[in-house]
Chains A and B, each alone.
Chain A
Amino acid sequence: MASGAELTPTSYMTHHLTNMTSSVGEGAFWTLHVDTLVMSLLLGILSFGFLWSVVRGATSGVPGKRQAFVELAVEFIDDQVKSTFHGDRHAFVAPAALTVFVWVLMMNAMDLLPIDIMALLYELLGLHNWRSVPTTDINATFALALSVWLLMIFFNIKVKGLGGWIHELVCTPFGKNPLLWPVNLLFNLVEYVSKPLSHSLRLYGNIYAGEIIFLLIGMWAATGLAGTVFGTMLGAGWAIFHILIITLQAFIFMMLTVVYLSMAHESH
């Protein structure tokens, strides 16, 4: 619903896929996607604030409905982590997994908001380009994956020591023979590069594609009565299916985080 300019499919798509930027320094890198940051912060504060408020009044007696809901989520995460991570999971890995799951789920869930109505609301607030879904921004998913990657390296060094980690880098998976060292190192480097890429791009790709489907359905709905009727039905169907996708993607992102961190804790 770009105001002023002529509305074409291209301008419609571009409008919905453009972030609100703010320059914080010289050069193309020093720009900030304000919408991504604000939405993710808002969702994070909302969800973790909710968790905190429930947990602060948590009772070990008969839990209320809200506490039971939070416990359900937490025990679900805890079970998943327990089956993958063998160590003191309560110290870091399990709560980190909870953070990842809740936050990513909330950010993904923004995809279910009707895009054009949201755009209209944002327009009323004076926000011309404002994307609701932080996980359709590669920066957001890559930030998460890269943070996990750094944690992975941190735990590798913390658990095995710097020497132990380097030893693992050059001596696995093929063997200790010095002739194999370059191959091992190359193999591990590829793995270390591919991990954050696949981790972040999987989430980004799924949610981004989901949003584009919503946009295409929205465009069809604008073509006439038949388009509106079928667009509505398709949109509803896709939204229902998308509930599965956003949950599944959040779960996969969380599980991969747990798996990567577990691998960092275990020596080969």
Chain B
Amino acid sequence: MNINFTLFSQAAAFAIFIWFTVKFVWPPLMRAIEDRQKTIADGLAAGERGKHELELASHRSADVLKETKQRAADIIAQAEKRASQIIEEAKGTARDESDRILVGAKAEVEQEVFRAKETLRQHVADLAVAGAAKILRREVDAKTHADLLTSIKAEL
């Protein structure tokens, strides 16, 4: 346990090693570490920004979706209204048409009836004349009594 010259040699070695570390070991490593810290910080910030933007975009898409849904609902409502309108119109038209057909049919039926009556009258007149002729065979001359006969026919 004696102090001797080793002390100085050891101190010199220590000084050299300190100088070496201060000069060559510490600064480059610190630079690398600080650069990396900066990169990581930037990356984290970018991530944060991306997250924020994603949130904004999702808000925007939700808005667009809501608007679209609203518009679709409007269109459907309009279409339904239009459809019921068309149905109403069609019903009205159909009713008119049916009325018209009914009227026409009635007129035709009356005409038919009238014609049948006419025919029937003709037949009855003929029958009456034929009967009268049989009765008045000798007395009645068709030619002389034409005026009479015609007036009778008209009365029937």
Contact = CB atoms under 8 A, between A and B. Distances in A.
Interface of A: 24-25, 28-33, 36-37, 40-41, 44, 48, 51-52, 55-56, 58-61, 63, 67, 70-71, 74-75, 78, 90-92, 94-96, 98-99, 103, 134, 137-140, 142-144, 146-147
Chain B binding site: helix, strand, loop or mixed by DSSP?
Answer: helix
B36 A55 contact: no
A160 to B, nearest CB: 22
Interface of B: 1-11, 13-15, 17-18, 20-22, 24-33, 35-36, 39
B13 A142 contact: no
A24 B3 CA distance: 14
B13 A71 contact: no
A11 to B, nearest CB: 19
Contacts of B26: 74, 90, 94-95, 98
B25 A140 contact: no
Given A40-B13, A58-B28, A96-B22, A143 B33 contact: no
A48 B20 contact: yes
A142 B35 CA distance: 39
A139 B13 CA distance: 13
Contact of A92 (B7, B13, B22, B25): B22
Contacts of A60: 31-33, 35-36, 39
Contacts, number: 122
A253 B136 CA distance: 172
Given A48-B20, A52-B24, A96-B22, A33 B3 contact: no
Closest CB pairs A-B (n = 9)? A60-B35, A143-B10, A95-B26, A139-B6, A58-B32, A143-B11, A33-B6, A95-B22, A99-B21
B6 A143 contact: yes
Chain A binding site: helix, strand, loop or mixed by DSSP?
Answer: helix
A93 to B, nearest CB: 10
A56 B21 CA distance: 12
A62 B9 CA distance: 40
A200 B129 CA distance: 170
A41 B13 contact: yes
A98 B6 CA distance: 23
Contact of A95 (B1, B3, B10, B18): B18
A96 B21 CA distance: 7
A29 to B, nearest CB: 5
Given A29-B4, A143-B11, 19 more contacts: A31-B4, A32-B5, A37-B10, A37-B13, A40-B10, A48-B25, A52-B24, A56-B28, A60-B35, A60-B36, A60-B39, A75-B33, A90-B27, A96-B21, A99-B17, A103-B14, A139-B6, A142-B7, A143-B14
Contacts of B1: 138
Among A48, A99, A137: residue with most chain B CB under 10 A: A99
Nearest to A93: B22
A58 B11 CA distance: 30
